[in-house]
Amino acid sequence: MKIIASSTLLFAYKVEEVLRIVKELGYDGVEIWHFHLIRAGEEKNCAAIKRLADDLGLTLSFHALSWDLNFTSKLDQVRETSLSILEGSLDIASELNANPIVIHPGRVTIPGDSTEEYWQYLVEGVTRLTNHAQNKKRTIGLEVMEHIAKEFFITPHDAKRIVDKIPSPHLGITFDAAHVPLEIEPRDYISQMNKVVHVHISDLTPQKRHIALNTGDRDFSDLIKYLINNNQNNIVIEGLEPERTDRLAKHNINEMNCLIESVKNNINS
């Protein structure tokens, strides 16, 4: 199993620095956030980043822009602008040879609206993005989101519904363990999903998601066992460290290695 670091674990660094740090820490790859490239002024530096990743033997995935976007908005201009920006993220991922590309679904515009009103926009938008991904020889991992206000793509049923509507090899699902409600076992959630192409993991409490591993309320042992048994080979550790330190990235790789070793020992015993 390859352990991938979200670039936001080292958000204060240049992306080229991130690649070197995660290699030294023992990660197998990096999920580069498009916003990280923009923030670091490296959006035009994709060729050099790709070369460095190749030289270091690192796997690259990509997180498309998401903050401030909503391609299921009831406002035509917001939908179109969001989709155009997301197509740009797919273009950048292609330059990096990063795959898959994590894309957030849209949200409802008006709190309390029937979510069914937004599914037409979701299907239209994901179809357009999937066609663009196919042209770029990329795969989209549409992310199942948190159970919070305005999100409507939030359940295994939603994940199954979209891949049934758009049966393309260039569309799959991103499963995020921190988006699963605490009262539900993540293994039970992911086992109900079709075409999971990407997995995110981070800890959570009732108050906060995407915190350091083994600092929250969730036991990931059964999930890791499920991933191993089902040949899910890449797992991305998420989190956000705004300061110029590798402490979060170092903590998470150590915790994940211990967890995987413990699960494998139990499987073999």
The total number of structural domains in the chain stands at 1
- Judged against a pLDDT cut of 90, whether residue 267 lies above it is answered with no
* Token duo for residue 255: 């915790």
Q: Model confidence over 119-147: pLDDT tens digits?
A: 999 999 999 999 999 999 999 999 999 99
Average pLDDT over residues 145-157: 97
Average pLDDT score, the chain: 98
- Residues of the domain holding 108: 2-268
**Exposure letters 248-257 (e unless 16+ CB within 10 A, then b):** bbbbbbebbe
First and final C-alpha spacing in the chain: 19
Cα 177 to the center of its chain, rounded Å: 10
* Residue % of the chain over a pLDDT of 90: 97
Can you give the pLDDT at residue 164?
98
Can you give the pLDDT at residue 269?
67
| Block residue for tokens 């690192």 | 58
Q: What is the reported pTM?
A: 0.97
227: left (phi over 0), alpha (psi -120 to 50) or beta: alpha
How many whole angstroms separate alpha carbon 89 and alpha carbon 68? 14
DSSP state of 153: -
Q: Which residues pair with 174 in a beta bridge?
A: 143, 198
CA–CA distance from 170 to each of 1, 71, 90 (Å)?
Answer: 22, 19, 12
* Residue % of the chain over a pLDDT of 70: 100
How many whole angstroms separate alpha carbon 266 and alpha carbon 269? 5
> DSSP for 36-58?
HHHHTT-TT-HHHHHHHHHHHT-
Cβ atoms of 16 and 56 closer than 8 Å: no
CB proximity list for 34: less than 8 A, separation 6 or greater:
43, 62, 63, 64, 65, 89, 92, 93
> For the domain that residue 134 is a member of, what is the CATH number?
3.20.20.150
